[in-house]
Structure 1
């Protein structure tokens, strides 16, 4: 589990195709000094397992499921990525609960500076719209952010200077692709409400048919 508070950025050093997935490496003193094989690291919000550590380089295997659902397929040598280590027991939950399981990718419609802040609009498939609420949480490239405005298939987010400067969100521009993880609490609530609605409809139909 993660919190959406980015601890470091790193650069992609190598990308290798491997059995339908990928093997990637990052260059990071911070990450390499704090992990070992088997540990979890969120790379742009996607939870990946450390395969091996060689000096300041850290290697990960990436499954086809992950490449299909994330922006990892767009990575090139030198791509800057956000990194967060897994939350330790007793650690502070400073952002919100982030699982590292990317739901979908989105597209930046604009990134506008408003004095010292930056406003971004992120577009995604309309089917995910029930999972976002104004002032709710969302993770963009692994960064815990607060939603300022909700549209039919987009959200507006205001990025504070610290987050802008310390993450790869400062590189975003119109057309950029980003990883999106919606709030897990919202996803559970939506599923429970959907299942409840289905049960109510089924019961109503049975009553109308005289079977109850």
Structure 2
């Protein structure tokens, strides 16, 4: 579990293909502190550390992960947002993030404001019921608040600190980002789907009650 507060960025140094799987060597200021089997968020994707050496670490994405995220577009020298899993004895500064990416979203507009940047992202319409005004969303692992919602698009505002310390500075029109919707909203939507319609009860069994 993560909070969506990025700790650092890393650089993709090497990419290795093994059948349908793809491994990435990431160099970062945190790599030397990581341990094998540790779960780490990379651009919002929860991946397991497989090896650590020379201030870099290796992660592997399976075919399913590559199909649902932007990892297929990763190339050497790409900047990746990194967050270690949350500690249960600390504050949650963002929101609860699983690292289970739901889909990808496209940047369709950027406005440069005085002191901030506003990005508009378009996402698959099937997830429109999971986005609410001033609600939380996770983009490339960053916990952000959405506003100015249209049917299948929304805006997020990026403050200077986030812009400088994440890979949002490399996002432009047409960029593809990983998106994870609020897990609480997903559970509520599922609850409504299951219990928001009449439930067919089994036939009353007199014999069983006798």
1:75 equivalenced with 2:74 (yes/no): yes
1:12 corresponding residue in structure 2: 12
1:209 corresponding residue in structure 2: none
- Alignment gaps of 5+ in structure 2: 204-210
1:74-93: per-residue Cα shift (whole Å, max 9, x none)? Answer: 00000111000111231221
Conservation of the 8 A alpha-carbon contact between 1:111 and 1:172: no
1:44 corresponding residue in structure 2: 43
1:119 equivalenced with 2:114 (yes/no): no
1:138-191: per-residue Cα shift (whole Å, max 9, x none)? Answer: 000000000112111111111111111111011111100000000000000011
1:141 corresponding residue in structure 2: 140
2:192 corresponding residue in structure 1: 193
- Give the Cα–Cα distance (whole angstroms) in 1 for the partners of residues 155 and 31 of structure 2: 34
- Give the Cα–Cα distance (whole angstroms) in 1 for the partners of residues 153 and 126 of structure 2: 11
> What is the number of residues matched between the two proteins?
202
Conservation of the 8 A alpha-carbon contact between 2:32 and 2:56: no
Q: How high is the TM-score relative to the length of structure 2?
A: 0.93
SS in 2 for 1:23: strand
Conservation of the 8 A alpha-carbon contact between 2:41 and 2:84: yes
Query: Where has structure 1 moved over 2 Å in runs of 4 or more?
Result: none
- The correspondence of residues 48-59 of structure 1 with structure 2, limited to 5 A, is 48-59=47-58
Q: Once the 2 structures are TM-superposed, how far is the Cα of residue 61 of structure 1 from its aligned partner?
A: 1.3
Q: How high is the TM-score relative to the length of structure 1?
A: 0.92
Which has the larger helix fraction?
Answer: 1
Conservation of the 8 A alpha-carbon contact between 1:31 and 1:58: no
Q: Once the 2 structures are TM-superposed, how far is the Cα of residue 203 of structure 1 from its aligned partner?
A: 4.5
- Give the Cα–Cα distance (whole angstroms) in 2 for the partners of residues 98 and 177 of structure 1: 19
2:206 corresponding residue in structure 1: none
SS in 2 for 1:192: helix
1:14-37: per-residue Cα shift (whole Å, max 9, x none)? Answer: 111113111111011x22222110
Conservation of the 8 A alpha-carbon contact between 2:149 and 2:155: yes
- Give the Cα–Cα distance (whole angstroms) in 2 for the partners of residues 103 and 55 of structure 1: 33
- Give the Cα–Cα distance (whole angstroms) in 1 for the partners of residues 180 and 86 of structure 2: 17
Conservation of the 8 A alpha-carbon contact between 1:140 and 1:180: yes
1:180 corresponding residue in structure 2: 179
2:208 corresponding residue in structure 1: none
* Most deviating of 165-174 and 129-138: 165-174
Question: How much is the aligned-residue C-alpha RMSD, in angstroms?
Answer: 1.4
